[in-house]
Amino acid sequence: MKPTRRALLIALAVLGAAPWTATAQTTDTAPAALSLGPAEMQTFLLEGKVVRTVRTLKGVTDARQVTLSDGVITHDAQIQIVDIAKPIFEVGPKHTEVNFRDCYCYNVAAYRLAVLLGLDNVPMSVKRVVDGKPAAVTWWLEGVMDEGDRRKNKIEHSSSLRAAEYYSLMHVFDELIQNRDRNVGNIMWSGDSKMWLIDHTRAFRLGKNLLNPADLSRIERSLFEKLRALDRSAFTSAVKDILTKGEIEALFVRRDKIVKRFDERIAALGEARVLYTIR
């Protein structure tokens, strides 16, 4: 990993102290939470041996939870190998998607983009061959629960304001990558109301229009600055082994539209009503 990228990475926080007992990405037998530097974490995900399969995960993306070990560190990871492309895909009665693709590789692209934007709530994901198949191997989050379980168990956020700020951040990120599959199963929460975004296999579409511009009402201040400054050459270099030229071009068209929308909102409403810093 290049030093310039390492400087952008933020080590994952230890999440085991979450005050709730229900968990989504954790099992009772999962290894203890670890706090590793980004370079150590990347090496572990790339080289750790799969010592057991914990379970096959719900969903249709061929995902499974495994335990990795390098002889010193033991921790769980998610492995996804899905790679499906269809010229036309019937998502539902009200939506048909052209040039549909559901690919493990977009998890890796989402993580690399998050690093460039200074976001620390998309878990590290690397490309790796597992059992002879190309896959995304993603760091397993502990002490978290998904949005579906939170609602089912009627668990309130420890900070509703902080949670709302993360929702605004999520809307911006999902519009940027044109994520077609954000749902209550891939929004994760830690006990301090920090949102984690996982499973981006149906993102990075070719569409150049924003899907839900009305959701873009506020934006985290540092994210806005980094989004405006996102360099096409740097991004292309970071994802050239994953995204096509068309996917990259579409992302930057959407970026420009997102920035334009927030510039207009700031001009009309003032910075105080549009920009914020996550508490």
Which is more confident, 183 or 36? 183
Query: Which residues make beta-bridge pairs with 189?
Result: 145, 195
pLDDT band at residue 5 under the 50/70/90 scheme: very low
Q: 12 pLDDT exceeds 60? A: no
| All residues at 6 or more sequence positions from 15 whose CB lies less than 8 Å from its CB, including other chains | 33, 141, 142, 143, 144, 190, 191
pLDDT of residue 89: 86
Taking residues 132-153, report their average pLDDT. 97
Q: Count CB neighbours of 233 within 10 A.
A: 7
Write down the pLDDT at residue 277: 98
Read off the pLDDT of each residue in 90-94 and give the average, rounded to a whole number.
72
For 122-136, what is the mean pLDDT?
Answer: 97
CA–CA dist 186, 147 (Å, integer): 8
| pLDDT the model gives residue 58 | 66
Q: Domain-by-domain residue ranges, the chain?
A: 3-276
Instruction: Evaluate if residue 13 carries a pLDDT over 70.
Output: no
Question: Would you give the DSSP letter of residue 215?
Answer: G
Please say if the pLDDT value at position 159 is more than 90.
yes
Query: Of 14-28, 43-57, 251-265, which gets the smallest average pLDDT?
Result: 14-28
Residue 260 has pLDDT above 80, yes or no: yes
The pLDDT-based confidence of 34 (bands split at 50, 70, 90) is low
Q: Where are the beta strands (DSSP E) in 81-175?
A: 83-92, 95-103, 125-130, 133-139, 145-146
Q: Quick one: average pLDDT of 228-255?
A: 98
State the pLDDT at residue 110: 98
Proportion of the chain above pLDDT 90, given as a percent: 79
Residue 9's pLDDT is what?
A: 36
The answer to whether 30 and 140 are in contact (CB under 8 A) is: yes
Provide the residue type at 279 as one letter: R
Is 14's pLDDT higher than 70?
Answer: no
What are the tens digits of pLDDT across the range 57-66?
766 567 999 9
pLDDT value at position 60?
Answer: 57
Instruction: Look over the chain and give the mean of its residue pLDDT values, rounded to a whole number.
Output: 88
pLDDT at 132 over 60: yes
Burial per residue of 17-37, b for 16 or more beta-carbon CB atoms within 10 angstroms, e otherwise: ebebeebbbbeeebbebbebe
Count of beta carbons in the 10 Å neighbourhood of residue 227? 21
Residues 73-82, mean pLDDT to the nearest whole number = 96
